[in-house]
């Protein structure tokens, strides 16, 4: 059984998830926008939207 | 944890998901661009959503309805597949955060203005974690029990508004340019008809696979029909001038109910329906996220991931946008594109997989 | 996988607690045996050892006073043996036991642990010299309550018999209602100290085998010293430890138990209590009284709907009152709102405190009403009715509307045919009141969703608790919220409909 590989993968995933959650929550509570997802997504799709509906 | 559900329960889940949070939003989102032709936009959106989901289900059927996470690894390879899976998890959490933000926005803006948004956010997240903890079967049963009542409440409150309906509000038909009608359809296509691809993580648990496509599509069309009726009723009663200026026009519509003196101000009823739809949506997102994480990590249980996911959803819901205006703008402009990208990526991988004969390997 | 955080450990490896000397075999010498049994049972005043050590064949009888039929000892043991001892022919010790004149079953034991167990259950143990066995005669008899009308579940029409504390009587009560050979009573024993007898009753061939094995498995795995009532068993073998909802139906009525058996359920009966446990059970079965089947179906259906309504009232009425008067004035018709406002004029507390205080007072009165000695009962009701009902309003402490709400809630909570079930409503009412006071009607909606989630997650012996409703089973709707006529399955409509599905 690949038990060991499984548990390493599990630990990495869980640590990454918790890590991201904690960083994000701290950034939220501190009022700092470290991950402005909306800006990134907006920047990505702005040209497409402008092309479709003309801004 | 029991995840099994039958095709009837799947139908109802799809129905709640489609109807759920769009019930209050759809009239404004469509009418904002297409005015009194909002209902045409809505029909267009349902048709596009139908086509998108037909293709989606057709592809998944070729793969014997395996879980989308397993399929991504199969079709895109181990590394790319994991990357796509992580993206899906992010999409799911992101969507849950938006839905919850939507709920608390609504509560603060319309229902109990002096209260704290966190109360509602935390309450609905707790409910979602509670039901996901027991597995997907639980929400399936809950929706099986509650959906008939919700449907009754919805139909009942809609019927009560009929005495104020005026056809003149819908005329002239096709007055707007087609671009505006399409623009109205654009925002309601992504929300909710593309979002629903998250249910791809559930298909593997449906018992009668041969009935899956039919019941899924039935749920989708019923949900779409309800949205179309809602848009017609809202615009017909209030006129597009009003609808364009309200964030939650369906709720405002119900405020106007006045049949006999006792049946007044029963907008609370439609809120129950709406909150239930939101709950189903959040649960589907949460379930997709934790089952994706379970697949990525190769762990046996998904319960470990519930708590971090819940915290992340909560902080994201609060942090992702500063205020309501930004929120509405963002959803109106980018949401459909954002979800369509994910859809396109997965679909391309699935088609490429079929070409390379990978679909024969699925489920073996 | 498992989170041991809230989960209790069910399977605790049981150490063999019986002492090694109890495994001692019976010797052929009666003196040694008697010394041994006296040592094991101690010199309690109720343990009687009657020795006949000067008779031609020495023998002794050991029993516990008050648990055996003394007259029968006299007539069927002493008399015939004495007669036999007085005859002149040559006597073999083995023949002694054949002299007994009785229909009671006779057991032969060769180890002391078996003998003590039998004696403690009310058998008479007969020791015979030069025989390396002990005979136990099951002539148990003790003072028992007669079969009376059940106190906790009364009804207008239907049998007046209720279970009693003695298992023997209870099995008879069931046997008399189900005259089929497939009725089984399976014996098992619970409690390391009390060693209480538990019977698992079922109809062979109809019972759900999964449930039956599950029940047996769980009863076997109980790890406890003492059990005195079926409620304790219920808590120990229940799979959802923290739920306020009972997942066993406890009934005092033999007709209910018999009906459950014929539906393929398992009935757990218990020495020392008139309450039997019926499992697996469903949420909706707590709204179904036995009487429903004895009345006409339309009336029964109506009564069931009333019960469901009163369950909803007893959970949510005070909360709804708080929510409406605190947050949602617009939902109350204006004239009523004005009169409510006039009533609340001068009441110093918010609606939540008012309702909470009244509910608490009511719960106190209710508990006092159950516990106090009977003769004082009327005093409490006078105090309750006058002080709470009128003086509190007159003194301006509470508004009359709250009194109405609380009394209506209280009366509704008595409607449930099962006491344990209305307890759940009593507890949940307070949680709902807090939610209603903080977030109004939306708190109540969240609570409703949480409640449904909880009910859908519950299982009873591995079977879904909320079953004919969710997962929806159309075949069982004939007896869930509504009661269809008993001849429903013979109608054409039914046969057409069942053919379709």
B209 touches chain C (CB under 8 A): no
H/E element, B102: helix B78-106
Task: Give the gap in angstroms from C-alpha B184 to the nearest C-alpha of chain A.
Answer: 11
pLDDT for res C25: 85
Does position B157 have pLDDT exceeding 50, yes or no?
A: yes
Contact residues, chain C, for B123 at CB < 8 Å: 439, 443, 446
Best to test chain B binding among C330, C335, C457 (most B CBs inside 10 Å) = C457
Which domain range does residue C102 map to?
Answer: 20-137
Other C-beta atoms lying within 10 Å of the C-beta of residue A41:
18
Closest CA to B246 of B18, B10, B29, B40: B29
Q: Which residue bears the tokens 């015979």?
A: C128
With respect to residue C349, please indicate whether it lies within any of the assigned structural domains.
yes
Q: Which pair of tokens denotes residue C385? A: 């009715």
Task: Point out the domain boundary residue: C137, C157, C176.
Answer: C137
Other C-beta atoms lying within 10 Å of the C-beta of residue C496:
9
In contact, B321 and B117? CB cutoff 8 Å = no
Mean pLDDT of C315-319: 94
In contact, B183 and B33? CB cutoff 8 Å = yes
Mean pLDDT of C467-496: 84
Burial C196-210 (b: 16+ CB within 10 A, else e): bbbbbbbbeeebbee
Cα-Cα-Cα-Cα dihedral sign, residues C226, C232, C238, C242: negative
Please judge whether B134 and C457 are an interchain contact, meaning their C-beta atoms are less than 8 angstroms apart. yes
Q: What order do you get walking across the sheet with C134-137 strand by strand?
A: C47-52, C59-64, C124-128, C134-137, C106-109
pLDDT for res C501: 67
Return the top range by mean pLDDT from B335-344, C21-30, C321-330: B335-344
Task: Give tens-digit pLDDT for C324-345.
Answer: 888 888 788 888 888 888 888 8
B300 touches chain C (CB under 8 A): yes
Task: Give tens-digit pLDDT for B1-18.
Answer: 788 889 999 999 999 999
Gap between the Cα atoms of B306 and B308, Å rounded: 6
Domain boundaries, chain A: 3-53
With respect to residue C162, please indicate whether it lies within any of the assigned structural domains.
no
Size of interface A-B (CB pairs under 8 A): 74
Does position C4 have pLDDT exceeding 50, yes or no?
A: no
Contact residues, chain C, for B9 at CB < 8 Å: 471
Closest CA to B20 of B119, B199, B151: B151
Query: In which band, very low, low, confident or very high, does the pLDDT at A1 lie, cut at 50, 70 and 90?
Result: very low
Please state whether the peptide bond connecting residue C196 to the residue before it is cis, i.e. omega within 30 degrees of 0. no
Instruction: Name the least confident of C221-225, C295-299, C447-451.
Output: C221-225
In contact, B5 and B205? CB cutoff 8 Å = yes
| Chain B residues 4-43 with a CB less than 8 Å from chain C | 6, 8-9
The closest CB to that of A28, out of B296, B315, B334, belongs to B315
Q: Which residue bears the tokens 């009888």?
A: C61
Both C132 and C277 in one domain: the answer is no
With respect to residue C269, please indicate whether it lies within any of the assigned structural domains.
yes
Q: Which pair of tokens denotes residue B66? A: 């395996």
Gap between the Cα atoms of B198 and B289, Å rounded: 9
pLDDT for res C24: 80
Please judge whether A38 and B311 are an interchain contact, meaning their C-beta atoms are less than 8 angstroms apart. no
Mean pLDDT, chain B, rounded, equals: 89
Domains of chain B: residue spans and CATH? 7-360 (1.20.1740.10)
pLDDT for res B24: 85
A touches which chains (3+ CB pairs under 8 A)? B
Does position C317 have pLDDT exceeding 90, yes or no?
A: yes
| Chain A residues 16-45 with a CB less than 8 Å from chain B | 17-18, 20-21, 24-25, 27-29, 33, 37-38, 41-42, 44-45
In contact, B289 and B305? CB cutoff 8 Å = yes
Q: Which pair of tokens denotes residue C56? A: 């031609």
pLDDT for res C178: 92
Both C268 and C314 in one domain: the answer is no
Both C361 and C224 in one domain: the answer is no
Both C432 and C366 in one domain: the answer is yes
Q: Counting Cβ atoms within 10 Å, is residue B184 exposed (0-12), middle (13-18) or buried (19+)?
A: buried
Contact residues, chain A, for B309 at CB < 8 Å: 17, 21
Please judge whether B330 and A38 are an interchain contact, meaning their C-beta atoms are less than 8 angstroms apart. yes
The closest CB to that of B112, out of C330, C440, C446, belongs to C440
Closest CA to B96 of B202, B10, B198: B198
Orientation of helix B324-355 relative to helix B38-62, angle to 10°: 30
Closest CA to C419 of C476, C481, C366, C479: C366
Task: Give tens-digit pLDDT for C371-402.
Answer: 888 887 777 777 777 777 778 888 888 888 88
In contact, C248 and C277? CB cutoff 8 Å = yes
Q: Which pair of tokens denotes residue C104? A: 């009671």
Please judge whether A41 and B186 are an interchain contact, meaning their C-beta atoms are less than 8 angstroms apart. no
Mean pLDDT of C463-488: 85
pLDDT for res B64: 87
Does position C2 have pLDDT exceeding 50, yes or no?
A: no
With respect to residue C156, please indicate whether it lies within any of the assigned structural domains.
no
Chain C residues with CB under 8 Å of a chain B CB are: 1, 3, 327-328, 330-331, 333, 438-443, 445-446, 449-450, 452-454, 456-457, 464, 466, 469-472
Other C-beta atoms lying within 10 Å of the C-beta of residue B304:
21
Task: Give tens-digit pLDDT for C133-155.
Answer: 889 988 888 888 888 888 888 88
Q: How far is CA C157 from CA B350, C129, C261, C285, C291, in A?
A: 67, 59, 21, 19, 7
Query: In which band, very low, low, confident or very high, does the pLDDT at C213 lie, cut at 50, 70 and 90?
Result: very high
Mean pLDDT of C221-233: 87
- DSSP structure class, residue B247: S
pLDDT for res C100: 84
Mean pLDDT of B34-63: 92
Mean pLDDT of B347-353: 92
Gap between the Cα atoms of C472 and C452, Å rounded: 14
Does position C21 have pLDDT exceeding 70, yes or no?
A: no
Instruction: Name the least confident of B324-338, C61-75, C374-388.
Output: C374-388
Tally the C-alpha atoms within 13 A of residue C306's C-alpha that lie toward its C-beta: 13
pLDDT for res C10: 53
- DSSP structure class, residue C42: -
Angle at A54 between CA A53 and CA A55, to 5 degrees: 100
pLDDT for res C3: 42
Closest CA to B243 of B254, B234, B251: B234
Does position C5 have pLDDT exceeding 70, yes or no?
A: no
**Three-state DSSP class for residue C258:** helix
Q: What percent of chain B has pLDDT over 70?
A: 98
Closest CA to A38 of B101, C122, C181: B101
pLDDT for res C66: 87
Task: Give the gap in angstroms from C-alpha B145 to the nearest C-alpha of chain C.
Answer: 5
Contacts of C306 (CB under 8 A, 6+ apart): C415
Does position B364 have pLDDT exceeding 70, yes or no?
A: no
Best to test chain A binding among B180, B181, B298 (most A CBs inside 10 Å) = B298
Contacts of C304 (CB under 8 A, 6+ apart): C287, C288, C292, C481, C482, C483
pLDDT for res B261: 66
Strand partners, C124: C137
Other C-beta atoms lying within 10 Å of the C-beta of residue C367:
10
Closest CA to B128 of A20, C450, C452, C458: C450
With respect to residue C10, please indicate whether it lies within any of the assigned structural domains.
no
In contact, B69 and B292? CB cutoff 8 Å = yes
Task: Give tens-digit pLDDT for B177-221.
Answer: 888 888 888 888 888 899 999 998 999 999 888 889 999 999 999
- DSSP structure class, residue C152: S
Q: Which residue bears the tokens 């996470």?
A: B69
Both C321 and C459 in one domain: the answer is yes
Best to test chain C binding among B142, B206, B299 (most C CBs inside 10 Å) = B142
Q: Which residue bears the tokens 């109910």?
A: B257
pLDDT for res C1: 35
Both C35 and C104 in one domain: the answer is yes
Does position B30 have pLDDT exceeding 90, yes or no?
A: no
Between B279 and B163, whose confidence is greater? B279
Both C456 and C324 in one domain: the answer is yes
Please judge whether A17 and B305 are an interchain contact, meaning their C-beta atoms are less than 8 angstroms apart. yes
pLDDT for res B262: 66
Cα-Cα-Cα-Cα dihedral sign, residues B135, B140, B146, B151: positive
Task: Give tens-digit pLDDT for B276-291.
Answer: 999 999 999 999 999 9
The closest CB to that of B262, out of C333, C457, C464, belongs to C333
Between C30 and B359, whose confidence is greater? C30
**Three-state DSSP class for residue C13:** coil
The number of domains in chain C is 3
Mean pLDDT of B227-231: 92
pLDDT for res B311: 95
In contact, C130 and C152? CB cutoff 8 Å = no
Q: What percent of chain B has pLDDT over 90?
A: 48
pLDDT for res C448: 93
pLDDT for res B351: 92
User: What is the ipTM, given to two decimal places?
Assistant: 0.93
Does position C6 have pLDDT exceeding 60, yes or no?
A: no
Best to test chain B binding among C333, C471, C480, C501 (most B CBs inside 10 Å) = C471
Size of interface B-C (CB pairs under 8 A): 78
Mean pLDDT, chain A, rounded, equals: 84
Chain B residues with CB under 8 Å of a chain A CB are: 94, 179, 182-183, 186, 293, 296-299, 304-305, 308-309, 311-312, 315-316, 318-321, 326, 330, 333-334, 337-338
Please state whether the peptide bond connecting residue B4 to the residue before it is cis, i.e. omega within 30 degrees of 0. no
Both C231 and C369 in one domain: the answer is no
Contact residues, chain B, for C456 at CB < 8 Å: 134, 138, 141-142, 145
Contacts of B303 (CB under 8 A, 6+ apart): B1, B133, B290, C3
The closest CB to that of C439, out of B115, B139, B279, belongs to B115
Does position B130 have pLDDT exceeding 90, yes or no?
A: yes
Please judge whether B107 and C450 are an interchain contact, meaning their C-beta atoms are less than 8 angstroms apart. no
pLDDT for res C9: 52
Contacts of B128 (CB under 8 A, 6+ apart): B96, B279, B282, B283, B286, B310
Both C356 and C437 in one domain: the answer is yes
Angle at B45 between CA B41 and CA B48, to 5 degrees: 135
Please judge whether A24 and B321 are an interchain contact, meaning their C-beta atoms are less than 8 angstroms apart. no
pLDDT for res B9: 92
């Amino acid at each position: 059984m690949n038990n060991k590989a499984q548990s390493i993968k599990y630990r990495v995933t869980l640590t990454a998830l918790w890590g991201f959650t904690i960083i994000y929550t701290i950034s939220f509570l501190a009022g700092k926008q470290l991950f402005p997802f909306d800006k990134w997504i907006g920047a990505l799709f702005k040209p497409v939207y402008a092309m479709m509906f003309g801004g | 944890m029991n995840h099994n559900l039958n095709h009837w329960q799947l139908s109802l889940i799809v129905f709640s998901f489609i109807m759920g949070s769009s019930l209050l939003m759809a009239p404004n989102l469509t009418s904002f661009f297409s005015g009194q032709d909002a209902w045409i936009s809505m029909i267009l959106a349902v048709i596009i959503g139908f086509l998108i989901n037909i293709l989606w289900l057709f592809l998944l059927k070729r793969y014997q309805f395996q879980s989308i996470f397993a399929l991504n690894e199969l079709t895109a390879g181990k590394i790319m597949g994991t990357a796509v899976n992580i993206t899906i998890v992010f999409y799911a959490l992101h969507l849950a955060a938006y839905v919850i933000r939507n709920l608390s926005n609504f509560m603060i803006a319309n229902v109990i203005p002096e209260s704290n948004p966190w109360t509602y956010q935390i309450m609905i997240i707790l409910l979602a974690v509670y039901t996901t903890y027991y597995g997907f079967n639980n929400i399936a049963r809950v929706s099986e029990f509650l959906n008939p009542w919700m449907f009754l409440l919805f139909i009942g409150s809609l019927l009560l508004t009929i005495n104020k309906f005026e056809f003149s509000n819908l005329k002239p038909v096709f007055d707007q340019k087609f671009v505006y009608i399409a623009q109205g359809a654009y925002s309601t296509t992504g929300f909710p008809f593309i979002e629903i691809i998250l249910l791809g993580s559930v298909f593997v648990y449906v018992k009668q696979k041969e009935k899956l496509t039919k019941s899924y599509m039935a749920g989708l069309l019923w949900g779409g029909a309800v949205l179309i009726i809602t848009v017609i009723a809202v615009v017909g009663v209030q006129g597009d001038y009003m609808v364009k200026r309200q964030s939650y026009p369906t709720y405002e519509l119900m405020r106007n109910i006045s049949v006999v003196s006792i049946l007044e101000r029963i907008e609370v009823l439609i809120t129950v329906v709406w909150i239930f739809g939101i709950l189903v949506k959040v649960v589907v997102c949460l379930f997709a996220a934790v089952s994706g994480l379970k697949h990525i990590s190769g762990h046996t249980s998904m319960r470990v991931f519930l708590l971090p996911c819940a915290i992340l959803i909560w902080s994201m819901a609060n942090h992702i946008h500063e205020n309501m205006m930004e929120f509405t703008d963002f959803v109106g402009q980018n949401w459909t594109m954002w979800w369509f990208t994910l859809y396109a990526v997965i679909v391309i991988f699935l088609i490429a997989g079929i070409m390379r004969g990978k679909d024969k390997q699925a489920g073996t | 996988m498992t989170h041991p955080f809230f989960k209790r450990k069910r399977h605790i490896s049981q150490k063999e607690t019986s002492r090694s000397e109890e495994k001692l075999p019976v010797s052929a010498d009666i003196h040694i045996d008697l010394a041994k049994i006296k040592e094991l049972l101690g010199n309690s005043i109720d343990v009687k050892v009657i020795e006949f050590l000067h008779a031609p064949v020495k023998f002794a009888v050991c029993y516990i006073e008050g648990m055996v039929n003394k007259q029968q000892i006299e007539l069927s043991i002493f008399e015939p043996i004495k007669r036999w001892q007085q005859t002149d022919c040559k006597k073999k010790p083995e023949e002694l036991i054949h002299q007994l004149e009785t229909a009671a079953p006779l057991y032969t034991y060769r180890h002391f642990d078996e003998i003590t167990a039998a004696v403690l259950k009310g058998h008479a143990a007969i020791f015979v010299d030069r025989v390396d066995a002990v005979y136990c005669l099951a002539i148990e008899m003790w003072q028992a309550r007669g079969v009376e009308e059940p106190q906790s579940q009364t009804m207008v029409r239907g049998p007046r018999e209720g279970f009693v504390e003695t298992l023997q009587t209870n099995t008879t009560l069931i046997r008399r209602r189900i005259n089929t050979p497939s009725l089984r009573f399976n014996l098992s024993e619970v409690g390391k100290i009390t060693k209480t007898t538990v019977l698992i009753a079922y109809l062979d061939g109809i019972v759900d085998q999964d449930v039956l094995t599950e029940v047996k498995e769980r009863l076997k795995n109980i790890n406890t010293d003492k059990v005195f009532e079926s409620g304790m068993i219920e808590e120990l073998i229940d799979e959802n430890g923290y739920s306020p909802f009972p997942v066993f139906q406890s009934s005092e009525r033999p007709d209910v138990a018999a009906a459950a058996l014929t539906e393929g359920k398992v009935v757990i009966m218990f020495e020392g209590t008139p309450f039997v446990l019926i499992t697996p059970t469903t949420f909706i079965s707590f709204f179904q009284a036995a009487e429903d089947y004895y009345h006409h179906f339309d009336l029964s259906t109506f009564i069931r709907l009333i019960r469901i309504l009163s369950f909803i009232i007893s959970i949510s009425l005070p909360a709804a009152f708080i929510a409406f008067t605190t947050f949602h004035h617009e939902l109350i018709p204006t004239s009523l709102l004005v009169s409510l406002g006039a009533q609340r004029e001068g009441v110093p507390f918010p609606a939540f405190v008012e309702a909470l205080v009244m509910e608490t007072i009511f719960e106190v009165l209710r508990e006092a009403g159950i516990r106090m000695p009977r003769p004082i009962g009327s005093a409490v009701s006078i105090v309750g009715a006058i002080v709470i009902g009128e003086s509190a309003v007159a003194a301006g402490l509470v508004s009359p509307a709250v009194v109405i709400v609380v009394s209506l809630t209280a009366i509704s909570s008595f409607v449930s045919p099962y006491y344990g079930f209305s307890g759940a409503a009593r507890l949940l009412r307070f949680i709902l009141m807090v939610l209603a006071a903080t977030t109004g009607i939306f708190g109540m909606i969240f609570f409703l969703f949480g409640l449904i989630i909880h009910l859908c997650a519950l299982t009873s012996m591995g079977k879904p608790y909320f079953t004919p409703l969710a997962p929806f089973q159309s075949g069982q709707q004939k007896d869930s919220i509504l009661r269809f006529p008993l001849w429903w399955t013979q109608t054409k409509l039914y046969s057409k409909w069942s053919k379709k599905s």
